[in-house]
Amino acid sequence: MKKSELIEKISIAVSKRTKTAVSKKLVDEILSETFVTIGKTVKKEGKQGIPGFGTFTLTKRPAGKGRNPRTGETIKVKASKSIRFKPSLVLKGSL
């Protein structure tokens, strides 16, 4: 699903529940701010949980050696950070 499709679905669902038209622009701003806030919280605290949805966790990958698949040459791989997502039991159960 594309972000625009998600915004469309959220806009329609909220409009039906509140019986008031909710603009796609407002939903886009809220969704974007939600993602930014999750990213900042994970960066600062290392973890962000959303009850009923799941937990985002900061993971650190150490530096190491890798191999160029095209040439077979050994290369150095820099240390990096990434985010992992673990779904909640509620979300898993709904699948």
User: Which tens digits make up the pLDDT trace of 38-74?
Assistant: 999 999 999 999 999 999 999 999 999 999 999 989 9
pTM value is 0.73
Predicted pLDDT at 95: 87
Predicted pLDDT at 90: 93
For the chain, the domain total comes to: 2
Both 21 and 63 in one domain: the answer is no
User: Could you list the residue range(s) of the whole structural domain that residue 7 is in?
Assistant: 1-38
Both 34 and 50 in one domain: the answer is no
Both 51 and 33 in one domain: the answer is no
Both 23 and 63 in one domain: the answer is no
Mean per-residue pLDDT, 21-31: 92
Closest CA to 47 of 90, 86, 92, 91: 86
Both 2 and 29 in one domain: the answer is yes
Both 23 and 52 in one domain: the answer is no
Convert 27-64 to b/e letters by CB count within 10 Å (16 or more is b): bbeeeeeeeeeeeeebeeeeebeeeeebebebeeeeee
